[in-house]
Amino acid sequence: MMAKLFQGSVGKKISMSLTGLFLCLFLVVHLSGNLLLLKNDGGVAFNQYSEFMSTNPLIRISEIILAAAFLVHIITAILLSLQNQEARPDRYVLDRSYVHTSFASRTMIYTGSLVFIFLVIHLKTFFVPHRLFHSEQTMYQTVKLAFENPFYTGFYVVAMVLLTLHLWHGFQSAFQSLGLRHRRYTPLIEKLGMGFSILIPLGFGLIPLYFFFRQFLK
Amino acid sequence: MKLNSNIPEGPIEQKWSRRKFELKLVNPANKKKFHILVVGTGLAGASAAASLAELGYNVSVFCYQDSPRRAHSIAAQGGINAAKNYQNDGDSVWRLFYDTVKGGDFRAREANVYRLAELSVNIIDQCVAQGVPFARDYGGYLANRSFGGAQVSRTFYARGQTGQQLLLGAYGALNRQIDRGKVRCYPRHEMLDLVVVDGRAKGIVARDLVSGRIRTFAGHAVVLATGGYGNVYYLSTNAMGSNCTAAWRSYKRGACFGNPCFTQIHPTCIPVSGHYQSKLTLMSESLRNDGRVWVPLKKGDTRPPHQIPEEERDYFLERKYPSFGNLVPRDVAARSIKEVCDEGRGVGHTGLAVYLDFAQAIQEQGREAIEQKYGNLFEMYEKITATDPYKEPMQIYPAVHYTMGGLWVDYNLMTTVEGLFALGECNFSDHGANRLGASALMQGLADGYFIIPYTIGGYLAQLGMKPVEENHPAFEDAKKSVEKQLEKLLSIRGEKPVDEIHRQLGKIMWDQVGMARSKEGLEKAIEEIQKLREEFWHNVRLPGQKDQLNLELEKAGRVADFLELGELIAIDALHREESCGGHFRVEHQTEEGEAKRNDEKFAYVAAWEYQGKDKKPKLHKEKLEFEYVELAQRSYK
Amino acid sequence: MKFTLKIWRQAGPQDLGKLETHSIDGISPHMSFLEMLDVLNERLIREGKEPVAFESDCREGICGACGLFINGRAHGPEEGITTCQLHMRSFKDGDVIYIEPWRAKAFPVIKDLIVDRSAFDRIMRSGGYISVNTGSAPEANSTPVPKEVAEEAFDAATCIGCGACVATCKNASAMLFVAAKVSHLALLPQGKVERKQRVARMLQTMDTEGFGACTNTGACEAECPKKISISHIARLNREHILSSLT
């Protein structure tokens, strides 16, 4: 019965939106933890937090779910994209059909792919050394080191801009795909989506900038 | 040949019940052994095909459009009449019957009209059950509006798109049967001939418009629901593809053509703007509820409308018909408009238009009230003309809209060719010489949903169960003659594109066989049409081949038939020495210039029988008896 | 007025197409776009050339037969109209106008600007109706339908099946088309009986016909000549959820 829900192109959109919203929730949790980095205690609180995150069994289970959600989100996106590409084998010579659509909505697969690349690099920098291998450094030290590098910080900031674009459309689109549309509430959801897609990446983006500029203040 | 209208005995209220009982039935198990061909997928065709398939018959349905949903019924705006009496305003089957006979200027068959009125109530039930989103009032019950020619409110509507919604309902019913495998649908197939075997219709020849292939289809009966022939005038409110070919070629195979001269000219259409014009757009009759029709008093007054003071305007409908004013019936309004324009008082850059002014209504009721009533029509007008009717009066002019004439049918809707039935606008039956607003949809659906399913059963039952005669030489012959005609058309390689000749035909028809007809004009028209037909067959220029998609070839075949039909219309108009409904002979008018009927000599249906190429058709008369509605002169003063 | 037309010419479904350039002069701004093409075709016929194949029927914006991709937009630069309702006054004298057919895998080109939209019919056949036999309908007023529900159903039911939604969608998705019918029938009490099978079957056909999926860009709603809202797509999605979970 559940299988039917996720079948067909509408079913796939439902997978996209459910996983997407779950990932949004993850962003909130992730950011709230990361904000500890901004606490001026030399990383004590953050290290405690990251220790907790890597040992708590509940978190471990959530991590697996999270990974699965990413996977489903990505694979479904690829499948949908292929289907969509195939649905129009011949392009228009002159195509201005975009005039009424937002840039963000047209570029979901691209912003998504780029965010995915970011994710891989991000995991390689933080997750892999600390969770798969036992790094000598504390998590805080790794973060600090990474963000004092202008390239890494720049890369991180660009990724957050892309994430903003992705969320700008993705957040409210998820509600539409789930059929949650209402004359009164949809405008609210849209505003919420805009706020979310700006504030969350902004929060994430502040951290590398904080570390990057802080090194010059000493 | 003798016409037999086949009307059941007994009082008019019992005729249809009696007929339903009299008709032989086909055993349910045997229905699947019969195959019926339905041509056309408008309201009549789609509803017939669906209903017949529901009964268990096998049906093949054909349309020239790419989808059955695009048939021109879709464009009907106003609504559909039904004697539901939901408004408690005194409506009844009897009153709808009476209004329709009177509105048709006493040239319709009483028994048919009564049945139509009787079935009208079932149509609404059926359509609501199909999900047609009719307008409703705040309590959730069905709403009605008033329409011309009636003093009760009995018109059901779905904003300005009633035809669309009804057609999509019938299209849904048809789709359901296609899905069940009971109907095979052949879109982009145009019927080009009827196959008659031993006097019975047994099949059709159709051209696959994509591949150009000529195919024959055999069946136990053929149902034509191919609409009207308004495009004989070139410019009309019909769709570009609307044509008379299926009906005309059936005529040539023996089906009589009834009352061809009864054509309806709708008074409120957007005027022609130039030579290039390809079609005309109707503005709903309902606009005349609040719009005032006027022209300048003086000839050749070129001032913009707002600079013409009140005392220099002529509200001619209000002046001539004080009691009905702007709401006189279609034929009367159309003629008056033509008259003032002929006097040289028409407006617009062509001088062929009058004003339909809402200034007073807006002043009295406020812009908002007008917007609520006519918003979508005003918008449509603005889209086409780029002028704002809230600020500037609309310009309107009459245009050909509907054809009451068509294939002659008996009470069972069978033509003079046994086994060939005609439904909807394609037949001549229910509207007499003038159709009332919101009655076309009613007729199409009554024929398709509720009449043909019974009467065709009667025919098939007495036909007996014989397989279709697919291999009869008549099929091959018909196919060959179709192919020959197409080859001939392509081989002419003359100078004139089809459209140009069609335009010329339209001009002859409009000028001489239009709103006002005279003996000299009609005689001249017949001569000119013959000449033009001659020219067509020698000088038309077609591109391409026959075994490919060839839009010009399609058009050429249709125009070839219009060139013959046009002459028949003129012949019929010439012979009918009276004025009635849409047929106005200048020789027959009252002192005030109103239509003057001649019931003594012309209370009959003129059914024309084809006699061969370039031979004068033979006239058969079906006398019309008026037992229930008293013959009276219409007056709208 | 004078224009340079770049028109897509393609002999058949299997042939390669290309843009062909024509200049046209003496065009009145009051002409409709299709009348302008009529003028071109009459000229081509006189010159012994093959006229441009395009479709139109009612020419008043309701039959849904016409549909051209004009200067990169479905039904041209104006909103809320079909191609036949577009007039030349919407262009500037001397404009270059690109005219292409709808492009989608599910709408193969038949010839020049004519495409095969029978996929829409097949979607409708798989459930876009209420199963009621002629004669078995109850009295029409026995089921009141709230006015606002009837109005909303009507808004969805105004779809003319022109295919502009598919043509303009970057994914060539038919979601708005399917949603319009599913939503129209799901709203009405008469249509609720079959709602579950209807949405499941129609969506399945939509997918097998090769249309793309919905990215919720809203392009379809903007180009729809009848202004059908994507809120109906949301209802379609709800209907799918309802159908698969219950």
d(CA C57, CA C38): 13
C89, C111, C133 — which closes off a domain? C111
Specify the CATH number for the domain of residue C218: 1.10.1060.10
Contact C104 A88 (CB under 8 A): yes
Q: pTM of this prediction?
A: 0.96
Q: What stretch(es) of chain B map to CATH 1.20.58.100? A: 473-623
Residue A184 touches partner C, C-beta closer than 8 Å: no
Q: Residue C190: which domain range?
A: 118-245
pLDDT tens digits for B464-489? Answer: 888 887 899 999 999 999 999 999 99
Mean pLDDT of B290-305: 93
Q: Which residue of B has its CA nearest to C153?
A: B133
Q: Is the pLDDT of residue B89 over 70?
A: yes
Residue A216 touches partner C, C-beta closer than 8 Å: no
C60, C88, C111 — which closes off a domain? C111
At A42 the pLDDT is 87
> Quick one: pLDDT band at residue B100, thresholds 50, 70, 90?
very high
Three-class secondary structure assignment of chain C:
CCEEEEEEECCCCCCCCEEEEEEECCCCCCCEHHHHHHHHHHHHHHCCCCCCCCCCCCCCCCCCCCCCEECCEECCCCCCCCHHHCEHHHCCCCCEEEEECCCECCECEEECCEECCHHHHHHHHCCCCCCCCCCCCCCHHHCCCCHHHHHHHHHHHCCCCCCHHHHHCCCCECHHHHHHHHHHHHHCHHHHCCHHHHHHHHHHHHHHCCCECCCCCCHHHHHCCCCCCCHHHHHHHHHHHHHHHC
At B78 the pLDDT is 82
Q: Enter the DSSP assignment of B68.
A: G
Contacts of A187 in chain C (CB under 8 A): none
d(CA B160, CA C52): 33
At B470 the pLDDT is 85
Q: Is the pLDDT of residue C65 over 90?
A: yes
d(CA C217, CA C207): 19
pLDDT tens digits for B20-29? Answer: 999 999 999 9
Residue B386 region by backbone torsions, left for phi larger than 0, else alpha for psi between -120 and 50, else beta: left
DSSP A19-78: HHHHHHHHHHHHHHHHGGGGSSSTTHHHHHHHHHHHH-HHHHHHHHHHHHHHHHHHHHHH
C126 and C223, same domain (yes or no): yes
At B150 the pLDDT is 79
Three-class secondary structure assignment of B410-453:
CCCCECCCECEEECHHHECCCCCCCCCCCCHHHHHHHHHHHHHH
Going by C-alpha positions, the residue among B426, B402, B401 that lies closest to residue B250 is B426
C151 and C71, same domain (yes or no): no
C54 and C13, same domain (yes or no): yes
Neighbours of chain B (3+ CB pairs under 8 A): C
Contact C190 B131 (CB under 8 A): yes
pLDDT tens digits for A112-127? Answer: 999 999 999 999 999 8
- Is residue C99 a contact partner of residue C8, using CB atoms and an 8 Å limit? yes
At B127 the pLDDT is 98
- Number of domains, chain C: 2
Specify the CATH number for the domain of residue C31: 3.10.20.30
Going by C-alpha positions, the residue among C146, C158, C182 that lies closest to residue B158 is C158
C142 and C87, same domain (yes or no): no
* For chain C, percent of residues with pLDDT exceeding 90: 100
d(CA B7, CA A211): 98
Instruction: Catalogue the active-site residues of B.
Output: 330
Going by C-alpha positions, the residue among B174, B151, B150, B170 that lies closest to residue B162 is B170
- CB nearest to A14's CB, from C71, C100, C241: C241
Q: Which residue of C has its CA nearest to B210?
A: C110
**What backbone phi and psi angles, to 5 degrees, belong to B446?**
-60, -45
User: Which of B31, B51, B74, B382 should we substitute to test contact with C (largest number of C Cβ atoms within 10 Å)?
Assistant: B74
* For chain A, percent of residues with pLDDT exceeding 90: 83
C107 and C130, same domain (yes or no): no
At A218 the pLDDT is 66
Place of tokens 């005038």: B233
- CB nearest to B126's CB, from C28, C125, C137: C137
At C224 the pLDDT is 97
Tokens of C106: 């599910």
Q: Is the pLDDT of residue C106 over 80?
A: yes
- CB nearest to C45's CB, from B50, B75, B497: B497
C77, C111, C145 — which closes off a domain? C111
Structural domains of chain A sorted by starting position, each given as residue range(s) with its CATH number in brackets: 11-87+104-217 (1.20.1300.10)
- CB nearest to C31's CB, from B187, B276, B495: B276
Q: How far is CA A182 from CA A15, A178, A179, B159, C178, in A?
A: 21, 12, 9, 25, 20
Contact B67 C133 (CB under 8 A): no
At A1 the pLDDT is 60
* For chain B, percent of residues with pLDDT exceeding 90: 86
Contact A86 C210 (CB under 8 A): yes
**What backbone phi and psi angles, to 5 degrees, belong to B284?**
-50, 145
pLDDT tens digits for B421-435? Answer: 999 999 998 999 999
Contact B138 C30 (CB under 8 A): no
**What backbone phi and psi angles, to 5 degrees, belong to B426?**
-65, -30
Touch of B by A (3+ CB pairs closer than 8 Å): no
Going by C-alpha positions, the residue among C220, B233, B399 that lies closest to residue A100 is C220
Give chain A's end-to-end CA distance (angstroms, integer): 61
- Is residue A146 a contact partner of residue C188, using CB atoms and an 8 Å limit? no
Q: What stretch(es) of chain B map to CATH 3.90.700.10? A: 265-399
C234 and C147, same domain (yes or no): yes
Contacts of A84 in chain C (CB under 8 A): 170-173, 212-213, 215
Chain CA centroid to CA B392, Å: 32
d(CA B632, CA B599): 9
Q: Is the pLDDT of residue B635 over 80?
A: no
Is residue B631 helix, strand or coil? coil
Contact B130 C190 (CB under 8 A): yes
C62 and C126, same domain (yes or no): no
C107 and C129, same domain (yes or no): no
- ipTM surpasses cut 0.90: yes
Q: Where is average pLDDT lowest: A65-79, A94-108, B454-468?
A: B454-468
pLDDT tens digits for C119-158? Answer: 999 999 999 999 999 999 999 999 999 999 999 999 999 9
Question: Taken in order B434, B451, B455, B243, is the CA torsion positive or negative?
Answer: positive
At B632 the pLDDT is 85
- Which of 12-31 (A) contact C at CB < 8 A? 12-14
pLDDT tens digits for B384-403? Answer: 899 999 999 999 999 999 99
C123 and C41, same domain (yes or no): no
C139 and C233, same domain (yes or no): yes
Overall fold of domain B265-399: Flavocytochrome C3; Chain A, domain 1 (3.90.700)
Q: Which residue of B has its CA nearest to C110?
A: B210
**What backbone phi and psi angles, to 5 degrees, belong to B164?**
-60, -50
Tokens of B276: 């290039």
C61 and C129, same domain (yes or no): no
Structurally, at CATH architecture level, domain B473-623 sits in Up-down Bundle (1.20)
